[in-house]
Amino acid sequence: MPVSKSVRRLLWFAVVFLVVIGIAAVTRRSLALLWPQHFAGKTGVGSGLDAGFARDAALTFIHILPGAFFLGLAPLQFLPRFRERNLKFHRRMGTLLVICALIIGVSALVMSFTMNIGGANETAATTLFAIAFLICLVRAYIYARRREIERHREWMIRTFGIGLGVATTRPIVGMFFAFRRLTPHEFFGIAFWLGFTITFMAAEAWIDYTRYHQVQLSKFALERAGGYLTAQER
């Protein structure tokens, strides 16, 4: 049986929601870095966070601009109709997305040790998932080169799932700010662990879900083919 439309719609709603959050975060950060007098925080915790990113604006831009490109365009690669109708463009855009993802992963590793807010806990989370992001990306690329499309798809889903994790941390951080029980140094690491884990597990669940339905669909097609051949023989 095919994957239900309601499940697909729910998934795409969640993806688009997180992509919007991610691009909004990049836009706000870029404005704060380019025009701090207008967009950077003036007082409180926000001003300290903005000042931290401003101290290494170049590295921040190197990380967030490819990140926005990746978050905004990668979902198109998972649309079957888009791939089938624009195969050459799909491959070219895929190459650009791989380059962007490499920049994102490597810059994330550097930022984990030079620009962390949540101390060792945040560094551990971002380092682990940056390495996992790069591993998934490389495996996806290798399978694409081998023309093993289904495995390429699964590893790209894992890559994108980890990439969405940074957007998932934003509402989690917002909730921590709202409750005001912990300082940013205390909760940023927790937020990153939760954000990346949630989207990575969701990606893995989607892979298992669609793999199961693909197997069931194949079995159904074989059964129908078998029944048709039996009828023909009669």
Using one digit for the tens of pLDDT, what is the confidence trace for 112-144? Answer: 999 989 999 999 999 999 999 999 999 999 999
Going from the C-alpha of 61 to that of each of 71, 106, 158, 170, 214, the distances in angstroms are 15, 13, 24, 18, 40
DSSP code string of 129-188: HHHHHHHHHHHHHHHHHTT-HHHHHHHHHHHHHHHHHHHHHHHHHHHHHHHT-S-HHHHH
In this model, does residue 162 exceed pLDDT 90? yes
> pLDDT at position 220, please?
42
Query: Cα–Cα distance between 101 and 109 in angstroms, integer?
Result: 12
Using one digit for the tens of pLDDT, what is the confidence trace for 171-200? Answer: 999 999 898 888 989 999 999 999 999 999
Residue with the larger pLDDT of the pair 212 and 199: 199
> pLDDT at position 222, please?
44
Number of domains in the chain: 1
In this model, does residue 92 exceed pLDDT 70? yes
State the pTM of this model: 0.88
> pLDDT at position 47, please?
85
> pLDDT at position 181, please?
85
Contact present, 169 and 195 (Cβ < 8 Å)? yes
Domain range for 184 is: 5-233
The predicted model gives 18-32 an average pLDDT of 96
Query: Cα–Cα distance between 59 and 61 in angstroms, integer?
Result: 5
> pLDDT at position 84, please?
87
Query: Cα–Cα distance between 198 and 195 in angstroms, integer?
Result: 5
Least confident piece of the model among 41-45, 137-141, 149-153: 41-45
Tokens 């023309």 — which residue? 147
User: Within the chain, what is the greatest distance between any pair of CA atoms?
Assistant: 84
Cβ neighbours, 10 Å, residue 213: 15
